[in-house]
Amino acid sequence: MSASAIAAVAVAAVAFVATWAAWAAGGFAVDVPWAPAWDLRLSLELDGLGLLYALLAAGVGVLVFAYASAYVPRHLAHEGRPRREEARLHGAMALFLVSMLGLVLARDLVLLFVFWDLTAIASWLLIGFDRANRSARLSALMALLVTTITAVLLLVAILVLRAEYGTTQIDELIAVARPGWAVALAGALIAAAALAKSAQAPLHFWLPRAMAAPTPVSAYLHSAAMVAAGVFLVSRAHPLLALEPALLDGLLAIGLLSIAVGGLLALWATDLKRLLAYSTVSQYGYVVVMLGVGGAAGAAGACLYVLAHALAKSALFMTAGAVTEATGRRELPRLGGLARRMPLLAAGSGAAVATLAALPLTLGFFKDELFFHAAAERGTWLAVAAVASAALTLAYLGRFWGGVFLGRSDAEVRPVPRRLVWPVVALGTLVVAGGIAPGPFAALAEDGAAVTAGGPAPVDVAYHLDGRTENVMALAAWLAGALLLVARPRLQGALSALARAGEAVGPERVYTASLAGLNALSNRIHDVEVRDLRARIAAVLVPASALIALGVVLTPTGGTYAVGPVELEDLPLVLVLAVGALAALATTRPRRHLRLALALSAVGFSLAVVYALLGGADIALVAVLVETLFALLFVGVFSLIPARELRREARRRSTGRTRARNLVIAATSGVVTTLVAWGAFSRPIPDDPAAERYLALADDAHGKDVVTVILADFRGLDTLVEITVVLVAAIAVATLLHGRFRA
């Protein structure tokens, strides 16, 4: 075993023992302020529900990590990768374990969310471990996107609850929450996030894809940890969800759908790991159904079910890995007859299959008893559905075990390391022990169920040799399951059709289509990122005009646009303005650069005359100065550009579409500007006390005119900074020219 593997196993073992010891010592709680300003707390507490999931994550972790220590070096050797990459897998596994422990201990929803996303990140690293494999990368991304995008729903739910009740502490929320829209909305969002994490239909499609991960990853994440996190959250938040009966009905429906979809696809699948993945979808469907039934019976059933399922399912995943390692095959039809060659593995996985199929003398028998009990309590229709589900489960599990270990095949069997077998045997032994002496398991489940149910939830585990309903249902299920197993070859066509229909119109299709759509949209934006400067300035003017037009439309028009009298003495002003307007129109015509510059100058000069006529002699002077400078600059720049370039530019004709676009932009900007200017002139000028004061103070400041005094004294800082800006610009120009000539 490599050092990293030993470290990972040690982490899991320590976590297991520590959790156990903490519980035996009467529990454990941490509650420290995290961000006091926003009332966030780091609060962790070990209760019955946390204990169950923590022990599962750590205990199964010990066995799976030990299995991985033998599996991963062989896996890397097959792929021709260096052995040191092993450490990455063990590291990510340990990270996952720690996040999972944090998740089940968190008593604050925000903290829970943090760990929730950390498990997603760790799972992304783990599923994408075979990084040379494109499908592994895509599957990792799919698992991550589906679980984190739905995690967003959890975040929204947290914010809704926080806005409504002012806290994110789970216990406080449960204490103060009352039925209402906030609880209904938040509950629905929490349930959606949780069900996606538990791979419930219709968001189940990521789980079979995630089988691209190395087998130990599947054995851990997709049996005892990652997918368990979803039902854990529903169990944790169950007292909130139970406030709205409709939410529980929704859980019931989704659970039944998942049982059916997962079960039928598991009956159809031929790849070992995919079959197990579909079976996980189906089995967690049971748990969701029981949580949907609710009450003490539902809670008790859910907890025991999770326990039995996690133990058995990880054993089966490890079996699949060992079988593939021994034979090099992973397709059910190409396998068979391994019972004689690998008897220990056959026995261990046989016990696991038996427990999942709820045969007597296994822990799983009781999980189905409780399931039937809860279903029968709810109503006859659910009892019938429960029997059908159990029959389906028995059929696909029988097919899995029989297909691998019975019959015959031509597969060559290579010896496998013992560490690929004994974790399976250990788990098999454990579930059989649970079938004979279920007491400790029941106690564990009972403590967990008490949290979910919000009160005592007895887990009644004992064999009753009588004709009670549960026993009758179990017998019916076995019988129907055996019939289904025998009849399966005839159903192959129908099952394939179902699988094909799922691929054609199923949720995975929606996922790929929306990703492709996003990509296409992004590429379009990339194309629209026009490199044409004029289009960009248009892209500024048009939204700006729209924004302003919105403001203009929203204002009351009464009195906003006044028309004043035109006196005879205004005639020069009108004339000059008309000249300016004509000059502005003229700028649209010339094709030669110099004429264009002169037309622009004409607009500026006529505006300068307008200032002069209106009494702003100083402004008029500045305007004339600026206009003259710019006219000279234009001429200077044109003289520097080769005449050939200028002529070529001038000959370029714009297309009709460009012209139309320019016309629309110009017209919009013009109309909006006119409206604004009109509105501005129609209103009285607000008095500016500062102006009066400046005038009064001008003499005191020893200035002959107020403008000088304002520039030099009253607003000296502004002038100073403005001078700095001009200086910086000068330095900038000098730098650029210097660099240009040096280069």
Partner 1 sequence: MIAATGPHIDVEALSPLLALTGGGLVVLLVGLLRPRVVREVLVPLLALASLAAALGLAIWQWDADEEIIAGALRVDTLALAFTAFVIVAAAITVLLSWRAVAPREAAHGEYYAMLLVSAAGMSVLVQAQNLVSLFIGFELLSVPLYVLCASEMRRSSSLEAGLKYLIIGSVGSATLLYGLALIYGATGRTDFAAIADALNSVGGPVSDPLFLTGLALSVVGLAFKVSVAPFHQWTPDAYEGAPTPVTAFMATATKVAALGVIIRFFDVALINAQPDWAPALAALATITIVVGNVGAIGQTSVKRLLAWSSVAQAGYMLAGIVVGTQHGIEAVAFYLAAYLVMNMAAFAVVVARARETGLGDAIEALEGIGQSKPLLAWPMTIAMLGLAGIPGTAGFIGKFFLIDGAVDGDYAWLGIVIVVGSAVSLVYYLKVVAAMWMRPAPRSVPVLAGGAVDDPPADAPAGPRAAGGEVTLVAVGCAAGPVVFGVLPGPLFDIARDAAAAMSHLF
Site for partner 1 in 37-56 (CB under 8 A): 37-38
Q: Examine residue 658 and tell whether it contacts partner 1 (CB under 8 A).
A: no
**Strand, helix or coil at 409?**
coil
Distance in Å, CB of 560 to partner 1, minimum: 6
Distance in Å, CB of 199 to partner 1, minimum: 19
Q: Examine residue 700 and tell whether it contacts partner 1 (CB under 8 A).
A: yes
Q: What would the two tokens of residue 397 be?
A: 């599990």
Q: Which range in 22-30, 217-225, 626-634, 730-738 contacts partner 1 by CB under 8 A?
A: 730-738
**Strand, helix or coil at 41?**
strand
Q: Examine residue 551 and tell whether it contacts partner 1 (CB under 8 A).
A: yes
What does the DSSP 8-state code read for residue 210?
G
Q: What would the two tokens of residue 36 be?
A: 């006091």
Q: Examine residue 564 and tell whether it contacts partner 1 (CB under 8 A).
A: no
Q: What would the two tokens of residue 168 be?
A: 């994110």
Q: Examine residue 736 and tell whether it contacts partner 1 (CB under 8 A).
A: yes
Name residues contacting partner 1, limited to 385-444 (CB under 8 A): none
Using the minimum distance from each CB to partner 1, give the nearer residue, 495 or 676.
676
φ and ψ of 45, to 5 deg: -150, 140
Alpha-carbon torsion (591, 595, 597, 601), positive or negative: negative
One of 78, 131, 340, 418 touching partner 1 (CB under 8 A): 131
Q: Which range in 278-286, 395-403, 539-547, 627-635 contacts partner 1 by CB under 8 A?
A: 539-547
Name residues contacting partner 1, limited to 462-521 (CB under 8 A): 515, 518-519, 521
Name residues contacting partner 1, limited to 152-211 (CB under 8 A): 152, 155-156, 159-160, 162-163
Q: Examine residue 685 and tell whether it contacts partner 1 (CB under 8 A).
A: yes
Calpha distance 102→44 (Å, rounded): 8
Q: Examine residue 647 and tell whether it contacts partner 1 (CB under 8 A).
A: no
Closest-CA residue to 333 (of 374, 287, 383, 272): 272
Calpha distance 315→350 (Å, rounded): 10
Contact 409, 337 (CB under 8 A): yes
Using the minimum distance from each CB to partner 1, give the nearer residue, 415 or 558.
558
Distance in Å, CB of 118 to partner 1, minimum: 6
Name residues contacting partner 1, limited to 69-128 (CB under 8 A): 110, 113-118, 121, 124-125, 128
Calpha distance 444→304 (Å, rounded): 8
β partners of residue 44: 30, 106
Q: Examine residue 384 and tell whether it contacts partner 1 (CB under 8 A).
A: no
Calpha distance 740→743 (Å, rounded): 5
One of 19, 43, 148, 324 touching partner 1 (CB under 8 A): 148
Q: Which range in 200-208, 383-391, 438-446, 720-728 contacts partner 1 by CB under 8 A?
A: 720-728
Contact 180, 146 (CB under 8 A): no
Max CA pair span of the chain: 117
One of 489, 688, 704, 705 touching partner 1 (CB under 8 A): 688
One of 1, 548, 579, 594 touching partner 1 (CB under 8 A): 548
Q: Examine residue 650 and tell whether it contacts partner 1 (CB under 8 A).
A: no
Q: How many residues bind partner 1 (CB under 8 A)?
A: 92
Q: Examine residue 35 and tell whether it contacts partner 1 (CB under 8 A).
A: yes
Using the minimum distance from each CB to partner 1, give the nearer residue, 486 or 690.
690
Which residues contact residue 22 at a Cβ distance below 8 angstroms, ignoring those fewer than 6 apart? 28, 46
Is the bond preceding residue 202 a cis peptide, omega within 30 degrees?
Answer: yes
Q: Examine residue 543 and tell whether it contacts partner 1 (CB under 8 A).
A: yes
DSSP annotation string for 20-68: HHHHHTT--EEEEEEEGGGTEEEEEE--HHHHHHHHHHHHHHHHHHHHH
Calpha distance 566→197 (Å, rounded): 76
Distance in Å, CB of 678 to partner 1, minimum: 9
